[in-house]
Amino acid sequence: MSSLFEDDEPRGKWAPAPLAERVRPRSFDEFVGQEELLAPGKPLREAIERDLLQSIILWGPPGTGKTTLARIIADTTKARFVSFSAVLAGIKEIREVMADAERLRRPTGRRTIVFIDEIHRFNKAQQDAFLPRVEAGDIVLIGATTENPSFEVNAALLSRSKVFVLRGLVTEEVEAILRRAVADPERGYGQEPIAIGDGALHAMAVYANGDARAALNVLELSVTSAPLVAERGDGVPAERVRGAGAPGLSEHGRRRVDVQHVEQSIQRRALLYDKSGEEHYNDVGNADPQALTVAVAAKDAVHFIGMPEGNTALAQAAIYLATAPKSNAVYEAYSQAAEDAHKDVAQPVPLHLRNAPTRLMKDLEYGKGYRYAHNEQDAIADMSCLPPALEGRQYYDPKERGFEKEIKRRLDGWAEIKKKRRNTE
């Protein structure tokens, strides 16, 4: 059968392969990321280079190198290499390959390596077809999946395979892949008259969220497409809310609200008084948590009673926000957290916070060290919930105004309890 890595028909001059396919690494020297698995001397790389690979499952997010690693194995091994796409192959093709593998190994001793892309898409009967040949040693199975193999791969097949977890690439690794694609004169854009700044490449890498293929697709689209520019103006009486200026605010609302603007605001804010919802978050926040309820209620009132009667509800919400105690602590906390997330969106969830319903996930130390707050004194668990790179970061700093005074009192009290516990441990 045809390989997953080969075209059934040659491409014409005007049908080049996608950029992500053209710049796919051909060797470990070109492979970016996954050093914990593929650095020189690591067991997986040693097994591949020495052609001693046993059945494995490659589990990881899209664009992290699963198929690329399979291609490197195909180019390295002396065994017969067969690949399936679980989306396209059926039980008939599987049984044919299994029979061929058995016939090949008996007289020659030569193994068959079978790569299954998206193995989680195979049903139980299809997966069961591999099991006898895996047990007999006729085939070495390599399965690639974005889904948790504990749930998507048969237990018998999983128990005969080693699971390797590929992590999402960090932003710097995706940037390195993009720079190589831009500079490569043979497979990338090295001979093209283009200029892409570091800022643009960084933005693409951040957008890709650890997915090299997605980043390369964005790069290719950027090179081959004209930029689209959209302009939008927001003239909103935000300062009236921020400055507690109730006088005149109702008039601003009355003059700005018409049917078209209401519909645009519903789509853009899900609140009807211009930026009233956003200004709640920015300027009122938890100093008066009820303000958000009032703003949403105003939107619901307009939906229920319609216009122009709904203008009164909008004016009421606007005045409530303008006269509420002010705090931008929520907005600042979100902005700082979003900035950190944009710098490196591939930060992993700490292992102790991950659910571990299966043996595999427990072996990977999911949930290890988790402390259940209700089993702790005062229902306070001294446990970090941030990724390691952000350890110790504090985003929310409540003000001494309105309800945030109470929130600040609670947080300070919890911090003191945790400090005393650490000193006594």
- Residue 248 sits in a domain of what CATH number? 1.20.272.10
Helices (DSSP H) in 118-193: which residue ranges?
Answer: 124-128, 131-136, 149-152, 155-159, 171-183
Shared domain for 73 and 137, answered yes or no, is yes
For residue 72, pLDDT beyond 90? yes
Domain end among 165, 188, 211: 165
Shared domain for 354 and 285, answered yes or no, is no
70 domain residue, yes or no: yes
224 domain residue, yes or no: no
Domain end among 113, 145, 165: 165
Q: What is the 3-state secondary structure (H, E, C) of 56-104?
A: EEEECCCCCCHHHHHHHHHHHCCCEEEEEECCCCCHHHHHHHHHHHHHH
CATH number at residue 72: 3.40.50.300
Average pLDDT for residues 354-378, to the nearest whole number? Answer: 85
For residue 165, pLDDT beyond 90? yes
| Number of folded domains that form the chain | 3
Rounded to whole angstroms, how far apart are CA atoms 75 and 49?
Answer: 10
361 domain residue, yes or no: yes
Residue 344 banded pLDDT, cuts 50, 70, 90: low
Shared domain for 244 and 311, answered yes or no, is yes
Shared domain for 113 and 37, answered yes or no, is yes
Average pLDDT for residues 323-341, to the nearest whole number? Answer: 87
Residue 112: phi, psi to the nearest 5? Answer: -120, 125
Shared domain for 379 and 289, answered yes or no, is no
Residue 26: phi, psi to the nearest 5? Answer: -105, -10
pLDDT value of position 270: 35
Average pLDDT for residues 238-253, to the nearest whole number? Answer: 45
Shared domain for 284 and 362, answered yes or no, is no
For residue 233, pLDDT beyond 80? no
Shared domain for 38 and 157, answered yes or no, is yes
For residue 115, pLDDT beyond 90? yes
For residue 309, pLDDT beyond 70? yes
Shared domain for 85 and 157, answered yes or no, is yes
Shared domain for 150 and 52, answered yes or no, is yes
Rounded to whole angstroms, how far apart are CA atoms 270 and 252?
Answer: 19
By residue range, what is the domain housing residue 307?
238-323
Q: What confidence tens digit (pLDDT) does each residue in 258-301 have?
A: 333 433 343 333 343 444 444 444 788 889 999 888 888 888 88
Domain end among 141, 165, 189: 165
Q: What confidence tens digit (pLDDT) does each residue in 8-47 have?
A: 444 444 457 899 999 999 999 999 999 999 999 999 999 9
| Range of 82-91, 127-136, 168-177, 199-208 with top mean pLDDT | 168-177
User: What share of the chain has pLDDT > 90, as a percent?
Assistant: 33
pLDDT value of position 257: 40
274 domain residue, yes or no: yes
pLDDT value of position 216: 95
128 domain residue, yes or no: yes
97 domain residue, yes or no: yes
pLDDT value of position 349: 84
Shared domain for 67 and 118, answered yes or no, is yes
Average pLDDT for residues 50-55, to the nearest whole number? Answer: 92
Shared domain for 281 and 367, answered yes or no, is no
Shared domain for 319 and 371, answered yes or no, is no
User: What share of the chain has pLDDT > 70, as a percent?
Assistant: 82
For residues 374 and 277, the model is more confident at 374
For residue 236, pLDDT beyond 50? no
257 domain residue, yes or no: yes
102 domain residue, yes or no: yes
DSSP 301-369: HHHHH-TTTHHHHHHHHHHHHHHS----HHHHHHHHHHHHHHH-TTPPPPGGGS---SHHHHHTTTTTT
Q: Which residues contact 104 (CB under 8 A, 6 or more apart)?
A: 80, 110, 112, 138
